[in-house]
Structure 1
Amino acid sequence: MAGSRQSRMAAYGALLLIGCVFTPTLALSPTLKDKTCPYGDYPTEAGICCNKCSPGFKLVHMCHAEGMRSNCTPCPADQYMDQMNYSPKCMRCKQCKESKQEVQESKCERHRDTICRCKDGYYQFTIDSETTECRRCSQCGLDEKAVQICTPKTNTVCKCKENYHRVKRKCEPCKNCTTDCEHLCKLLPSHNPTVLEERQNGFFINVLAGVVAAAFILLMLVFYVTYITTKRCNEKTTVAPPLELSDEVQILVKKTEESSSNSDNMAVPQATVVEMDPSKLPDCVPLEVKFGDLINILLEMVPVSQVRQLVRSLGVSDIVIDRALQDHCFSIREAHYQMFRAWAEMSPLSGSGSGGRSGMLHSAKLQELLHTLRKMHLGRTAEELERVYSIQ
């Protein structure tokens, strides 16, 4: 009996020794996550290298074993995919809007989006880094001539015609010898070098005196403007205007402030981001939307007094909000634009992963926005977004 017990203990000891010997080796062995795939492939959760779908195709089924290839299918009509991807959905083709003076330059194909341009007589005006619009080409005045005609990309460039010079944005006939009216310099009655030198010296003295006086006035003006600007920016940063909140939201804010005052942690609670599986979204929901256009709609629809409350509810911190107000204290619209942009870019879904592109907002973020708008009693804004992006 004792011998049998000793044999079992010896066996356990041998197994323990073997485990200690091979454990470091196993720890140093590469994991599936560290596996390097060939160019154009991507590692799955199972550690298998699967090929991406080519532009113009979307993923149907990923590969299930080494040596197998993913099952891809062409994008359907009115949809496209312009890069290598493993996305289960293609993106909707852009529609050129005649109401915005756009015409189609090239139609949408499976591997590229529709290309629109401004129609004749209009040019593309850049509003910001993400937004443009077609504006009517400028016409030269009676005393002007065009040095560059209007194109779909650039506006008309005009200058004063011969023997005219520009005065306060208008072209007027030349009356004196100036840089723009050099033809009159030859008609001066006196060409005596001594007289000309005396006139030049007097002119320079007058100019110097004027420059000194203007510099002094400008310096005083800069000090005054700097003082007023700093004061206003500080007031905007430290004293937020009262928000028009509903009764339910006021109760929630009050409870949050009471809990924050009893805790050493002063962090603002972040909104929960609901991540949705793109493969389970209905076909009517776009996989990605251009958040530059989305933000412009929000700036038009959401009342100014509720913008900061909205971005806080979406998870933007007070530090980011205050920084936007300080950096753009002269333009509250630009400050609000930067707040919404910070929300759109703070999630990995707005980057280039999973077939996404820079400047694009994932549909899960759009659904989060719609849900938050309705909680804040901004249902009209939510309905407008659903109409624009054809969400049912």
Structure 2
Amino acid sequence: TYSHLFSLPLYLQVILIFVYVLMKESVEIAPVPYTLQVHRVALDGRDPSNPLRREKKQMHCQLGQYLHPRKTHCCMRCHAGTYKAKDCDHPDQATVCLPCADGTFTAVDNTISKCLQCTKCRTELQQIIETPCTPQQDTVCGCQKNQYQVDSESEFFQCRNCSSCANGIIASCSKNKDAICRCKPQFFLSRNNICKPCNSCTGEECLHCHSPVTASPTSSGLNGNLILGILVAIFGVLSVLCIAHKIGKLVQKNRIASSFYSC
């Protein structure tokens, strides 16, 4: 065969050699896709040649349950007033829950391994205990009667006495707000909720003071004299009418007497 090959023209020899090389390379490359498939199995753990094998789905627990730390099954949560002492070993086995000790609590269903410490009301801030701590509820702190809370959203809120408004109240004292006092004219409400005279105000506090309405001495004097003159005139007219009435009666009486004696 090789003798016949070399007997061919040179250009045909080159073409045949090129075709032979291409066919040989295609035969050697054929196993490569399987090699890649095996490599992919090593990377993601799945065998594409096995269509029956499926990925393991993530477990979802029902309400009131939690996923076991090994992610193999679900366990029941512990109720309020208890804590989780041990996970359940099997789905049909109950979680080991123990009651909270004195001074501790859990307010909701939980999976914590230790109960929470009860809040202590701070007497230095004048706090009092409104509701004592129970295994299912934390302590509720508050203030005494006629007091209100400052910074009530914080655990460290302070209790202060409600303002005693001597001139009336605009808004009563509430749990989180002091009373708003009413002030007399020419007085302003200071920042500490105390009525002070307007002549002692400074800065922005003066905006609450209104300028006093004063009349000039001349105008007030004229108004007083006018009123007094009117009263005197009325009294004089009444006096004249009274005297005239008495004189008329006296004249009429004398006429009657003189006519009687003339007869």
CA distance in 1, matches of 2:156, 2:189: 31
Match of 2:170? 147
Match of 1:348? none
- Structure having the higher helix fraction is 1
**RCO higher in structure (CA 8 A, sep ≥6):** 1
Q: Secondary structure at the match of 2:53?
A: helix
2:97 corresponds to which letter in structure 1? C
**Unaligned ranges ≥5, structure 1:** 1-15, 174-178, 190-392
Matched-pair contact (CA < 8 Å) for 1:124–1:132: no
Matched-pair contact (CA < 8 Å) for 1:122–1:134: no
TM-score by length of 2: 0.50
**Please, which of 139, 145, 151 is the counterpart of residue 114 of structure 1?**
139
CA distance in 2, matches of 1:36, 1:113: 31
Question: Structure 1 residue 68 and structure 2 residue 71: aligned?
Answer: no
Question: Structure 1 residue 55 and structure 2 residue 80: aligned?
Answer: yes
CA distance in 2, matches of 1:140, 1:115: 27
Match of 2:188? 166
Quote the RMSD (CA, aligned, Å). Answer: 3.9
Higher-Rg member (1/2): 2
Question: Structure 1 residue 133 and structure 2 residue 160: aligned?
Answer: no
* Alpha-carbon distance, 1:180 to partner: 8.2
Question: Structure 1 residue 39 and structure 2 residue 66: aligned?
Answer: no
Q: Secondary structure at the match of 2:157?
A: strand
Match of 2:56? 29
* Alpha-carbon distance, 1:52 to partner: 0.6
Q: Secondary structure at the match of 1:45?
A: coil
**Unaligned ranges ≥5, structure 2:** 1-37, 39-45, 199-207, 220-263
Matched-pair contact (CA < 8 Å) for 2:80–2:136: yes
* Alpha-carbon distance, 1:73 to partner: 1.8
In structure 2, the CA distance between the partners of 1:77 and 1:168, relative to structure 1 (3 Å rule), is closer
Matched-pair contact (CA < 8 Å) for 2:149–2:160: no
* Alpha-carbon distance, 1:66 to partner: 1.6
Matched-pair contact (CA < 8 Å) for 1:57–1:72: yes
In structure 2, the CA distance between the partners of 1:171 and 1:68, relative to structure 1 (3 Å rule), is same
Q: Deviations over 1:146-184 (max 9, x none)?
A: 2333344321211213x44538765548xxxxx987997
Q: Deviations over 1:162-213 (max 9, x none)?
A: x44538765548xxxxx9879979xxx8xxxxxxxxxxxxxxxxxxxxxxxx
